[in-house]
A and B are shown apart, each in its own frame.
Chain A
Amino acid sequence: MIMAKDEFDILRSAAVPAPRAEARARAIQAALVALRSGETSAAPQGTRRGLRLTTRAIRLWSGIMPKNLIAAPALAGLVALPIAGYATFHLLNERPFAVLPDQGAGMPDSPQLAGRKEQDALARNAATVSPKQEIAPALSKMRVTSDGRRESQIRPGEVDNSKLMADQAADALPDAMTQPEANRDRVADFKSNRVRSTLEEPVSTFSIDADTASYSFVRRSLKEGVLPQADTVRVEEMINYFPYGWKGPAEASAPFNSTVSVMPTPWNDHTKLMHIAIKGYDLKPEERPKANLVFLIDVSGSMIEELTLLRSTFRLLVGKLGPDDTISIVTYAGEAGTVLEPTRASERAKILQAIDALQPGGSTAGEAGIQEAYRLAEKSFVKGGVNRVMLATDGDFNLGQTDDDDLKRIIEEKRKSGVFLSVFGFGRGNLNDRMMQTIAQSGNGTAVYIDTLAAAEKVLVEEASSTLFPIAKDVKIQVEFNPEKVSEYRHIGYETRGHNREDFNNDRIDAGEIGSGHAVTAIYEITPKSSTATVIHDLRYGQAKTNNAAGVANTDEYAFVKIRYKLPDGDVSKLITTPVTSANDLSSFAVAGDDQRFSVAVAAFGQKLRDADQTAGMSYYRIAEIADAARGADPFGYRAEFLSLVWRASALESGHLENGHVDCAGGKGTGLVAVTSDDLYDLDRDGDGIACK
């Protein structure tokens, strides 16, 4: 370093007054917002608009009111008024950095977005959805403080700002924060699938699962700063939450196409993943059958909070229907009542009026409501069309037949008549996840958890056709592994969807359905024969032989995948089979497609949240790395959101977010201590008087 030696060296010694702690904290929050709001795109102008009015005022006055004005009172008297006016004007117009293009060291930066669009989105939000979303416009005025970070999650240039806005707005509701111990969510518990020996159990059978409720659950939990309960984490539902571009069939006669690939396992060098990706046929609009939908809406007292979200959700849905589709509305609370007799979707105003007139009250008589809904569905039954009861509830059926099994029986019976049932779960802390699962699974429907308007949009707008129009029902998958190639296998997820081997060919056994354009993914971790990763020893006293002993045909196949399904109005199943051979092998994990690698990252994350042994050695960092590299286009930001959840989980697990504390982030703190004297080592970086041990 060539340090100049001259009279200007004193420049270095000039004192710099310390920055204020709150300015520092605000800057850090702003940075985190910028990180979250994404990618190479610039934050919208609005992010920073009007951010620093107070500071601007101080700056302005400190600039305008130096000693000279104080020293010259007469002059001050003369200029004070014009300056006050000027200051006001300045404050109204001045937006530091707002209009300047970013010159940030050659970093790519997307064009600035006019605040207009954002304003529009706000206005739209405020207009369509009242109490809950009223927070949205308020947010735009927030500083970038701990609350302000939500504001800037709006992504400019993305398809719809309003949904993210609403998402954040809903999250911002303080009263909705339910303490974990007070959580009344009812969740069925289950154990992760174990490793199975191919010789003893060569066949794995399961029902397809297009539900996504578990992911929303996990997201909600992590956003509230709590690691999700293992039983709420259903790995397959997390994987299937994300849209993937699997190759679909070209025509409706084959309702779906499956793509199988075998690739190295990122969390174990000695095993492989068999990745089965299924994509349903995407119905063209003109091919869509007529729909007869009965909304069964829970308006019990516990739904008060959710009614606004529910109204907005159903508005979205009504907008997706064709003019000839019919809609009916039944409410239940205390006693069931019909709010809207079957009405054609073209009478939009009438339907919306009925939705808006919904009032909360009383406790829930779910059974009577369901009976009434089925009665209406049968009344306007469309032969060959979609006949579906859409149940919106927070899940407490506390009057009538409350037993899950009784409900299941009613729904199964009605399913035979051709009326299916889908469940939309609303609410926090009171949600009966088990009930939702049970009734949706027995009603040939899907259970979707809607925690935000964004979730509603995902289900009802982006995926409307897959939610509403099934292309196949009772879809079961059976995989037979070849003991010559695979010594052990483990099915990742699908624990609650397992079937007996003999059920596969039994058409009376109910299974999941696939909607138009739906993507469903199943992943097996397989241990190639003679791999060092084998955990089960060979039997000493003879083996349970399979009929596929060594020497018979097909020895180079890993497995044989069979898919059995029925067409939506069919009673007899059809069968599709695919052998998995070395032709399906991928040489390395890296050569797998973005979608495949991303789905594996989600699988790894789900297993980690369930504390699975297999993924114990894999870090959250590695998961984030895989997911980040596989993000692809991600037009709706789902994958970016996933990444932020991975980091949240990572921080929660290592205790870094404990008590909202940030000092330990980069260190290896094991506990908290109070900082009482001078903080020589800068332990207490956020200045709250508490640091890590």
Chain B
Amino acid sequence: MKEILLEEGEVSDGELIGRARLRDEAALDALIKRHYDFVYRVAYRWSGNRVDAEDIAQEVCVRLGRAIRGFKGNGALKSWLYTLTLNAARDLARRNRRETAKAEAYAVHEGIFGEPHAADDLAEALWAAVRQLPDKQREAVLLVYGEGLSHSAAAETMACAEATVSWHIHEAKKRLRLAMRSLEEA
């Protein structure tokens, strides 16, 4: 009963954004609480580990707080969050790539060619392979397969043509099939 009341009282994203743009901290707070898990999930799918995902999510929150005053698109919050998250993820990855490339590569090797996998682990291993894809393919797969977006929605988020997304997906699938095959062989 109480819960229903609160749901009715729930303020729309649009209104929260409007208030946050005028520096209403409570509104930004509510907005982030509402979407943090979403951002974190995307970040996790990208990075494959909780700590990086938390770092990325925090960076997204900071960028959101900094940029919300200039945010105009009312309905497109999700799409904007995707973009912010993927940008932050890429920035972090670029920063870390040098240091962690080897460890990561080994982990992936271990993941794919190591012990046999249960069904869950199969998805997990597949993600590890996705993370080895070039950035654009990795993003496209994350958005289309991970998040269930249409190619056109993914294109909007990635700021490219729909056909480009389809091509990234196509390329990605070729590589992933290869990885899957070695998984099954193992």
Residues of A within 8 A of B (CB): 1-4, 6-17, 19-20, 23-24, 26-28, 30-37, 39-40, 42-43, 47-48, 52, 55, 58-60, 62-64, 66-68, 90, 94, 96-97, 99-100, 102-105, 107-109, 621, 624-625, 628, 640, 643-644, 647, 650-651, 656-657, 662, 665-669, 673, 680-681, 683, 685-686, 692-693
Q: How many residue pairs at the A-B interface have CB separations less than 8 Å?
A: 257
Contact A666 B11 (CB under 8 A): yes
Q: Assuming A63-B100, A625-B22, is B107 touching A665 (CB within 8 A)?
A: no
- A105 partner residues in chain B, CB cutoff 8 A: 67, 80, 83-84, 87
Residues of B within 8 A of A (CB): 2-3, 5-7, 9-11, 16, 19-34, 36-37, 40-41, 44-45, 49-55, 57-71, 80, 83-84, 87-88, 90-92, 94-96, 99-100, 103-104, 106-107, 110, 119-120, 122-124, 126-127, 130, 141, 144-151, 153, 169, 173, 176-177, 180
B53 and chain A: residue at smallest CB distance: A19
B152 and chain A: residue at smallest CB distance: A2
Q: Assuming A100-B94, A100-B95, is B26 touching A43 (CB within 8 A)?
A: no
Contact B144 A624 (CB under 8 A): no
Q: In whole angstroms, how far apart are the Cα atoms of A6 and B83 in the complex? A: 26
Contact B32 A27 (CB under 8 A): yes
- A673 partner residues in chain B, CB cutoff 8 A: 2
- Not counting A11-B145, A19-B54, A651-B25, a sample of 16 additional A-B residue pairs whose C-beta atoms are within 8 angstroms of each other reads A13-B123, A14-B124, A23-B57, A32-B29, A35-B23, A40-B67, A43-B66, A47-B62, A60-B100, A94-B99, A96-B55, A102-B63, A105-B84, A624-B24, A662-B29, A665-B26
Contact B66 A42 (CB under 8 A): yes
Q: Assuming A97-B91, A662-B29, A681-B3, is B67 touching A67 (CB within 8 A)?
A: no
Contact A621 B22 (CB under 8 A): yes
Q: In whole angstroms, how far apart are the Cα atoms of A8 and B133 in the complex? A: 14
Q: How far is the CB of A136 from chain B (nearest CB, A)?
A: 22
Contact A643 B180 (CB under 8 A): no
Q: How far is the CB of A356 from chain B (nearest CB, A)?
A: 39
Q: Is the interface of B mostly helix, strand, loop or mixed?
A: helix
Partner of A66, one of B6, B31, B68, B106: B106
Q: How far is the CB of B139 from chain A (nearest CB, A)?
A: 13
Partner of A662, one of B26, B37, B45, B49: B26
Partner of A107, one of B25, B63, B147, B148: B63
Contact B24 A8 (CB under 8 A): no
Q: Which 7 A-B pairs have the closest CB atoms?
A: A34-B65, A666-B30, A668-B9, A31-B65, A107-B67, A31-B61, A23-B54
Contact B87 A666 (CB under 8 A): no
Contact A34 B54 (CB under 8 A): no
- A107 partner residues in chain B, CB cutoff 8 A: 63, 66-67, 70-71
Contact B6 A668 (CB under 8 A): yes
Contact A23 B145 (CB under 8 A): no
Contact A665 B103 (CB under 8 A): no
Contact A666 B27 (CB under 8 A): yes
Q: In whole angstroms, how far apart are the Cα atoms of A40 and B69 in the complex? A: 7
Q: How far is the CB of B164 from chain A (nearest CB, A)?
A: 16
Q: Assuming A9-B145, A19-B37, A40-B70, is B54 touching A63 (CB within 8 A)?
A: no
Q: How far is the CB of A33 from chain B (nearest CB, A)?
A: 7
